[in-house]
Amino acid sequence: MGRSVDHDERREIFAAAALRVIMRDGIAGLTVRAVAAEAGFTTGALTHYFHSKDQLLIEASELSARLVRDQMIKAERVTPALEAIRKVVSFALPLTAERRDYWKVWIGYWERSSIDAEVKRVMRLRYDEWRERLTRLLVRAKAEGDVAKGVDPGRAAQDLVLLIDGIGVAVLLGVGGRIPPARQKALFDLWLDTVRERG
């Protein structure tokens, strides 16, 4: 009698392999053959679970989101809230080689979202989650007296998302000159000055 297969575990293995392929080779390197080889399985085994490149991309992106989400949930508990925002944002900015690898996944996601409706739907869910996390923290910071009364937390969160996306694209594509970690943090501090309560 053959050994039973844990299908959830097998999907996770393929998702992790797809994530490694994207981080190493970018979205262009994401092929069924490359992911199967990375996972140590045949392409037939992989296509039993995933029927398209976009399904693989979604699963890889969901895995990367879960890995980062756990860190952000922990950081969100930090007090005061402004410090929690700083910590959460540090997980999103491409400050390290590992973070830049995650940005490769996200940029690939943007590209595919213009073609595939399901990729676009899942991407929007991730953005909703991201904005909601930042909005919650800004509401907290406002209640703590660290954010100016006239600041709309939802709008400020959206502005911060746009800033982080802009930094991520500039760093990954190498446009706008070199943006080392210190400058990325300085740009975040400039945003923070726009919402901070003046003492």
Cα gap 112→57, rounded to integer Å: 9
- Write out the two tokens for 90: 């540090």
Output the tens digit of pLDDT for each of the chain's 199 residues: 445 568 889 999 999 999 899 888 888 888 999 999 999 999 999 998 988 888 888 888 888 888 888 889 999 999 999 999 999 999 999 999 988 888 888 888 888 888 889 889 989 999 999 999 999 999 999 999 999 999 999 999 999 999 999 999 999 888 867 899 999 999 999 999 999 987 6
Cα gap 64→27, rounded to integer Å: 14
Tell me, what's the pLDDT at 178? 83
> Tokens 């809230």 appear where?
81
Give the relative orientation of helices 81-92 and 181-195 as an angle to the nearest 10 degrees: 140
> Tokens 């299908």 appear where?
7
pTM of the model: 0.85
- Domains of the chain, start order: 7-195 (1.10.357.10)
